[in-house]
Structure 1
Amino acid sequence: MTDSCLATKPTRNITQQRQQIRCQMRAKRQQLSAEQQQQAAENICRQALALIAQRNAKTVALYLAFNGEISTALLIEKLWQAGKTVCLPRLHPFTAGHLLFFRYDRHSLLQPNQFAIPEPELDLTRLVTKNELEIIFTPLVAFDRQGNRLGMGGGFYDRTLQHLQRRNTITVGLAHQCQQVEQLPIEHWDVPLNQILVG
């Protein structure tokens, strides 16, 4: 944890405020026990399956947990068993700061990206267009009651979600209860989520 994470002095700089929240929330996530993480994953799985059934969604985007995020492994397994199409994000190879989504199954090959996060290989035969995505489940570092999401700071999901605002795709954050704050400091590029499931 950097010194900026330990700062207690109030600041008017939104960038500093956001970074301080990131540090605090990531530290809280890391303090969760394996049992708490497992319980959260099970709770999220139940809620997500109910939402998918309610919307009769067949193609959903998920993520692979990293650095204390809620695990999606159980949810992915249940979706495979139900015959749903599961997609994972990959950093766009040509358009910096954007995401592409690829079908993910038991035989998919994964490779670490520049952030050491596993992502699907670049196989265009498995590319899923944004029009096909019915629900995008996103990770997050912090959230508030208004549905605002604070990510890791790269802006990848915000850029991706901006292009979905006029489509029927819904965006759903997955979070631990400890990641909620009263109100996030918002930047003009932030895209609020349609819903947040709390484990």
Structure 2
Amino acid sequence: MHISILSFDAFNELDSLIALGILNRIQTPGWRVTIAAPTAQVTSMNGVTMHRHISLSEASQADAVIVGSGMKTRDIIQDPEIMSQLQLDPSRQLIGAQCSGALILARLGLLSNIPACTDLTTKPWVQEAGVEVLNQAFFAQDSIATAGGCLASQYLAFWLIARLQGTEAAKEAMHYVAPVGEKEAYVQRAMNNIVNYLPDNTDV
């Protein structure tokens, strides 16, 4: 099972790395989490340089993809060379977008008739793309999910684990990373945010 997190130049560390950390709590054999980028290295909005594991084209073959956020997303969607590498397909992949990542899903035509969550700065741009923006942290429909606000990246990770490994595995991963003395509250909040967006056959 391969999950890839797409990160571009000027990426938001919280959006990419919180999800990376939570997803890597799963120790199931064959479970693989990667960072994908258009170049060998990308530098975050705060000057942190990160090496990618795989290319964007390779990420398009993953079982699940999170499209990360950053300060240059509006430039990215205007770059045909980058966008042409993103061959995402909700019929065979779980796809999540964090904050301005919703702009990329909209440009790819993946949010047609699907409302989305995003951050407050990106909200008007997503609306300009013809997508209804919800005033909440997380929303999913079928195999596409969006999250709004940096710390909502935990909900994308929780949703992916719940879909791929079951909710008990998601709860264990969240429990591991949550603050001491607040673990049960964090787990319950995450569950409350995603439970209504799980298929009926998910092990809850």
TM-score by structure 1 length? Answer: 0.39
More helix by share: 2
TM-score in terms of structure 2 length:
0.38
Larger Rg: 1
